[in-house]
Amino acid sequence: MHLNKERIPPFRVQHFTNDKWTATKAILSGATLGLAILLTFLFGHAGTNIRYWPLLSEMSYLNRSLAVIDSIQAMHSDADRYSCKMTCSIEIVESIPENITFDADELPMSTFSAWSRLISLAEKRIYIAAYKTSLRGKHVLGASDPSTSMGEQIFEQLLKTGTEKDVTIRMVENYLAKDPGDNADGSSLESRGALELRRLHVSNEYGKGAMHSKFIVVDDKHFYLGSANLDWRSLNQKMELGVLVLNCPCLANDLGNIFFSYWNVAVSPNETQSNCQSGSSVPLMETTVNAANPVVLSYYGAETKVFIASSPRNLHEQGRVWDLEAITSAIHAAKSFIYIHVMDFIPMIVYQKRKSYWPVIDNALRKAVVERGVEVKILAAALHFVKENLHFMQSLQALANCADKGSIEIKIFKVPAVTDFHKRIARDRRTHNKFMVTEDTVIIGTSNWSGDYFTTTTGIALVARQEHAQRPLVDHMRSIFLRNWRSPYAHTLNIYIKQCLQGPRNENVCEVEKSTTVTR
């Protein structure tokens, strides 16, 4: 077992460079403040007696020390960022369901290949945030199947890395699991000594919500972030999209800070509650990477400004951008087009006893179409709260009749069930993407687009902006969206409503209910 190779005390992340400066500043600031309080308490006004001038001089020295640390930290940060610009690489990765074909010359790297490569690179540590840990098919099907082999391989790779290599693996997973088997492989890896596991019960800490983030950080240098769960179905049954980022400590450390904001609130499997009375009392780290101060990278020679945004706000470090604000800011700034591919697009709070209207993103899109003449295209699934979902989409699409220049079109993306095996898991064969692209911004996230995901549920997004004439990342994401949009699996809203709600159901177009032939 390798669980004690790198113990981290509660609320502390010792190997993060920025935190070393923060800790030193905190000690000096505490000394300054304590000295001032002591003098004031004992003598009313410390400066009235010349005997205490040496103490005041010491306070001045401490304050100067703080200024020096700030200066050194700034230089260190600048050097790190320059190094990152030279070394960071970003690659789009995708999962394409079995028996799905696209009219494209070349597809991006697969999610499976990205995960396998990440794990193989690990020399010291791996941090995993997982909504689900169901890599082996037996938890859903009752037995393994050739279609589950990719998930089985990732499970074995994590097991060997955690037990045979000198690598510490830590995992935070969602709790309570949505379906039976969702957390089975996290527990299995923990029981075999491959990793240290904590469970984040967001609704217990904050009254509602879930841990819905999906990312893997390796050695504070490399990471995956995207829509794919740690689940075999996310490797070859669902449409998934994410990023593989290598040799980029500036961003990997920042994502590691988010991991530890979860870790500090989460509990081990044999504990019943957090060490804290509430999540709001947990000390959080500070980030200097945000919209105002992004990491500047090179993507195929083009300057690219990148930062990581997150939800919910009560788990934010100081300086962190809310991913909802990142999305709405990009929508408000768009002048030409906004292309969105998400599983759920519902302008409501839907996962509470009393549903409520939540038009934040919906309103931003309407303004973009009517006031600025922007072209909007939305690809979504019709999986959850279908009637409400489709009514809102019809309302949004009707706006096209009111716009002089702008346009809005919506399609439903359906992954068909081709084989008998696919029909057993037909509902799991779906688009699960969560990304947006405009003429200068790409946002790749982990959240569906209903209000719950931004207000009470953990989620993250990589935000990349390209402002110069050459915008290869924007072009790449735009081509992926249009590939999906023009495919035979994307159906207009009118066709979907006619064939799935009003007339005889077309099984190649309509989503189905959960199968009763699987174990979940």
- Quote helix, strand, coil % in the chain, to nearest 5: 40, 20, 35
Alpha helices in 373-485 (DSSP H): 386-398, 420-424, 451-455, 472-485
Q: Specify whether 468 is catalytic.
A: no
Q: 375: which 2 tokens? A: 């072209």
List the catalytic residue out of 19, 182, 219, 362: 219
List the catalytic residue out of 432, 434, 440, 452: 432
List the catalytic residue out of 139, 214, 222, 434: 214
Distance in angstroms (rounded) separating the CA atoms of residues 149 and 224: 20
Q: Specify whether 212 is catalytic.
A: yes
Distance in angstroms (rounded) separating the CA atoms of residues 151 and 135: 4
CA distances from 140 to 61, 143, 172, 325 (A): 64, 8, 22, 37
Torsion sign, CA atoms 416, 421, 426, 431: negative
CA distances from 365 to 337, 378, 444, 473, 475 (A): 11, 11, 18, 22, 21
Beta-carbon contacts of residue 21 (< 8 Å; ≥ 6 apart): 69, 72, 73, 76
The count of C-alpha atoms lying within 13 angstroms of the C-alpha of 158, restricted to the half-sphere facing its C-beta, is 32
Q: If we measure between CA atoms, which residue out of 448, 486, 213 comes closest to residue 342?
A: 448
Please report, as a single letter, which amino acid is at residue 109.
M
Of all helices (H) and strands (E), which one includes residue 234?
Answer: helix 233-236
Are the beta carbons of 48 and 42 closer than 8 angstroms?
no
Please report, as a single letter, which amino acid is at residue 225.
L
Q: Specify whether 219 is catalytic.
A: yes
List the catalytic residue out of 2, 132, 139, 212: 212
Q: Specify whether 434 is catalytic.
A: no
CA distances from 418 to 148, 406, 426, 486 (A): 16, 38, 9, 20
Are the beta carbons of 302 and 466 closer than 8 angstroms?
yes
Q: Which residue has the tokens 């003098």?
A: 39
Q: If we measure between CA atoms, which residue out of 288, 256, 229 comes closest to residue 76?
A: 288
Say if strands 375-380 and 337-342 run parallel, antiparallel, or are unpaired. Answer: parallel
Catalytic positions, please? 212, 214, 219, 432
